[in-house]
Amino acid sequence: MSSRPAHVGLIPDGLRRWAKANDTTLAEAYLRGAAKVVELLLALQRNDVRTVTVYNLSKANLGRTGDELKAVYAASLEFFTTMIPDAFEPAGCGFRLHGDVAALPHEYVAAGRRLENTMTGSDFQINILAAYDAYDELRAAAQRAHRDGCEIADALDIGDVDLVIRTTAEPLLSGFLPLQSQYAQLVFLPTPLNDLAAEQLNDVVAEFRRLPQLRGR
């Protein structure tokens, strides 16, 4: 019996397709998706996961249409200002925004920074990747490693990931934390994010526990 996954990566995907299939707006699809991510975070917390890193936006995603980015940002603001504070106790939950914040709207960054300042617990950690690019992360880590005289892995802001869950069947990581995910178990769920029952993650975590976590050994 393997241990629980201490750190889970979550790649919410398929929202544009869900909006088209359900004849609804991108704004509604992304807002529903934000609420669903909160449900999944709570489900992972109940499964004794200590850290979840959520892929909100890659740097490449910033090249999408203005209407889509507007929908993403609006849902993210609701996620930061209402959904997360309502669902998690600040004394027990930590929050951190990672990525090129200079490329993001001021309102988005300000809301994220407020959460960082108010949610400072250590029982459960939520990381958000926004305007994230793996090359940027590795360059910055290499600079810190050179400055501090340590290994690159020790200079990364985010630690190793045990399990990565993507809510589409396409077997792609899309640049998600490549160094930290090198030994992670990868799960690609055919159910779109907005149709996913949080209880399905219980089965994913149970399957992780059944498999040996050898990390190359």
Instruction: Quote the CA–CA distance of 178 and 108 in Å, as a whole number.
Output: 25
Measured between alpha carbons, how far is residue 192 from residues 159, 169, 204 in Å? 27, 9, 15
What stretches of 52-118 show up as alpha helix (H) in DSSP?
66-78, 84-87, 106-118
Is residue 1 very low, low, confident or very high in pLDDT (cuts 50, 70, 90)?
very low
Instruction: Quote the CA–CA distance of 147 and 134 in Å, as a whole number.
Output: 20
What pLDDT is recorded for position 154? Answer: 93
- Helices first, then strands: H and E counts in the chain: 8, 6
Domain ranges of the chain: 7-210
Give the CATH number of domain 7-210.
3.40.1180.10
Q: Residues 34-89: pLDDT tens digits?
A: 999 999 999 999 999 999 999 999 999 999 999 999 999 999 999 999 999 999 99
Q: Is 165 left (phi over 0), alpha (psi -120 to 50) or beta?
A: beta
Question: Considering just the CA atoms, what is the radius of gyration of the chain in Å?
Answer: 17
Q: Residues 100-128: pLDDT tens digits?
A: 999 999 999 999 999 999 999 999 999 99
